[in-house]
A and B are shown apart, each in its own frame.
Chain A
Amino acid sequence: MSSLVLSVEELTVRYFTRRGVVYAVENVSFSASQRDFVALVGESGSGKSTLGYALLKLVPPPGRILGKRVVIDGVDILKLEGEELRRARGSLISMVFQDPFATLDPVRRVGDQIAEVMVEHGVALEEARKRVAELLEAVNLPAHIASSYPHQLSGGQRQRVSIAAAIALNPKVLVADEPTTALDVIVQRQIMDLLDDIRRRTNMVVLLITHDIALASERASKIAVMYAGRIVEYGSKSDVIEKPLHPYTRGLLSSVPDIERAEWPRPIPGLPPDLRSPQRGCAFKPRCPHAMEVCDKLPPLLDVGGGHFVSCWLYSS
């Protein structure tokens, strides 16, 4: 049995904007063990990115984390402040973003930027420089890249650099927020292969945040499906993909065109809800083909067997 690394308990994040409260993440709980590859799947506005940021306690104002706990290796990230928090980011959990241009400094050599991550965490400069070479090798980049500036690199190379910086301090959890969405499909495959390879070598938990359920299915060992700020279904990849239970998961799966078949995908009717009003009941009800009266009450996320969780009244009474 592999050991528990990440445990998220009743996490809630809301944005207190001038135009009202946005209920971005509501009462989310899940856990992951060493070497797990967890995919957090959802469409725009599902709260998946906010959830990713909240794991690093990185929610910008007017957002506030109201949640209970994010425990990584026994440490509750949400309780940390200042220097302690800064140290935890990088050594316990780190993040790779969709657009590496936004995280890399355009006027500094990429090798220095990777080294800086380590120096800030107390590694001696000489040592950090040596480690940069190892890290570049680990992400399959030639050593001379260290002296390049971000604009001299291709999109895929930049993403490799930001992965190298993110794993520099051997974190237990790596959050990857749509890391390949801006890249072409062949490069996407290379980057996903790399993340998977790093996970295997280091036992890191990789948490992939994505809108692409096919990508999740191809890579993840566990899948969490988010809708309107909540996890509506969670389980092993085979449970969620082969035996989807939640009507939203089913709808999502049949709305994706499949390259192997000419079968016409079926869109989900209607629109996702406005997160500016608190939900009573199931948020999917207005679009759900199985909607019942009881759906006006919020369904609990229940284990229907073997760690396959679903939040739907069809499966509980």
Chain B
Amino acid sequence: MELEEPLLVVEDLHVHFKVGAFGARKVIRAVDGVSLQLCRGETIGLVGESGSGKTTLGRAVLRLYEPTSGKVIFEGVDITHMPERKLRPLRRKMQLVPQDPFTSLNPLQTVGDALTEPLVVHGIVRNGVEARERALKMLERVGLVPPEEFYNVKPHNLSGGQRQRVAIARAFLLEPILVVADEPTSNLDVSIRASILELLKEFKERYRQGMIFITHDLAVARLIADEIAVMYLGKIVEHGPTKRVLTKPLHPYTTALLRAVPRVKGKTSLSEVELKGEVPDPSKPPKGCRLHPRCPLAKPKCSEVEPQLVELDKDHYVACHNPLL
């Protein structure tokens, strides 16, 4: 792993949005100084609550948003402010698997059209026959069999799980090397959620793409991610190997998140960290450590000085003045 050049390097990335007008104008710092690296065949689980900036970060690395500052380097090329014309040939290699395929699939298009269109647009196939062949093969691979039958169906005739399989087929037909999956299983019933995760895991072994898996569900992240990065109000507060982050979290926020996950059986062995209140308005993040107004371990320093992400254990980073050791 160490020898391989990273597929994606994100350096001190900021994505700010100006919202409102006139007097009510404010700036939301959705992503506020994030750095990470991703290699091929590796999956980072990006976890956090709503408003943490995880979706914005995912879209910014795919250049679906243009970053405010910092760098996004894809395969050694700086794409941070690359114009759309030059981005086009790279787009094929970086794909998004959205949360709700119902809104991303055109309701008037058949599954076959939805799958063959990108192949034609990106000039990957020479003709319609070849496109159809590839699409059928991919339908089979994502478990929609017999593929000929699904090829002519429209999205509203599919179940949620089947639609998500089509969305995955569509993304992987282009053989991307970077995939951002944004809550791909959150809208699905539990009994089928596992089969979609299985499919993504199988594709990870087959295509060795680098993947950013965005989720609020830590139990799901545990299954699919090699590393976990926890976001809170636009910043990564903890980042490390999955097992270590989930069993020996260093940040009070990670601990509180983990403790709050309902368990079918048994109890958590993590120490009690009860956070007060809810995530504050992202346009007015607290000074110092952004968690300090909610954190039971907060000391005076926490409201003054912003903690930096430091490597406290091998490959395990945390941004906290009083980490749980």
Contact = CB atoms under 8 A, between A and B. Distances in A.
Interface of A: 43-44, 154-157, 184-189, 211-215, 217-219, 241-242, 251-253, 255-260, 262, 264-268, 271-272
Contact of A259 (B49, B195, B219): B219
Interface in B234-291: 243, 246, 256-266, 268, 275, 278-279
B192 A215 contact: no
B129 interface: no
B29 interface: no
B191 interface: yes
Contact of A267 (B49, B193, B246, B278): B193
| Most chain B CB within a 10 A radius of its CB, from A154, A155, A265 | A265
A117 B241 CA distance: 52
Interface string B193-204: 111011000000
30 contacts: A43-B190, A43-B191, A44-B189, A184-B49, A184-B279, A185-B216, A185-B260, A186-B260, A186-B275, A188-B262, A189-B259, A212-B262, A214-B261, A218-B263, A219-B262, A241-B265, A252-B191, A255-B190, A255-B193, A257-B193, A257-B222, A258-B219, A258-B265, A260-B263, A260-B266, A262-B222, A265-B193, A267-B193, A267-B194, A271-B159
Contact residues on B (Cβ < 8 Å of other chain), bracket: 35 or more
B242 to A, nearest CB: 8
Contacts of B219: 256-259
B192 A267 contact: yes
Given A260-B263, A262-B243, A255 B278 contact: no
Nearest to A248: B191
Given A184-B50, A188-B260, A212-B262, A259 B222 contact: yes
Contacts of A251: 191
Interface of B: 49-50, 159, 161, 189-195, 197-198, 216-220, 222-223, 243, 246, 256-266, 268, 275, 278-279
A151 to B, nearest CB: 13
B93 to A, nearest CB: 29
Given A186-B256, A257-B194, A211 B189 contact: yes
A255 B159 contact: no
B191 A186 contact: no
Contacts of B49: 184-186
B261 A185 contact: yes
Contacts of A272: 189
Nearest to A156: B278
Given A155-B278, A184-B216, A185-B257, A268 B223 contact: no
Contact of A258 (B260, B263, B278): B263
Given A184-B216, A186-B49, A264 B262 contact: no
A60 B92 CA distance: 48
| Most chain A CB within a 10 A radius of its CB, from B161, B243, B278 | B278
Contacts of A212: 190, 262
Contact of B264 (A43, A156, A241): A241
Contacts of A262: 222-223, 243
Given A185-B260, A213-B264, A217-B263, 19 more contacts: A43-B190, A43-B191, A154-B279, A156-B278, A184-B49, A189-B259, A212-B190, A214-B263, A214-B264, A217-B264, A218-B262, A253-B264, A257-B193, A258-B264, A259-B258, A264-B194, A267-B198, A268-B192, A271-B159
B51 to A, nearest CB: 9
B245 to A, nearest CB: 12
Contacts of B266: 260
A257 B191 contact: no
B257 A255 contact: no
Given A184-B216, A251-B191, A264 B223 contact: yes
Contact of A189 (B216, B218, B260): B260
A267 B195 contact: yes
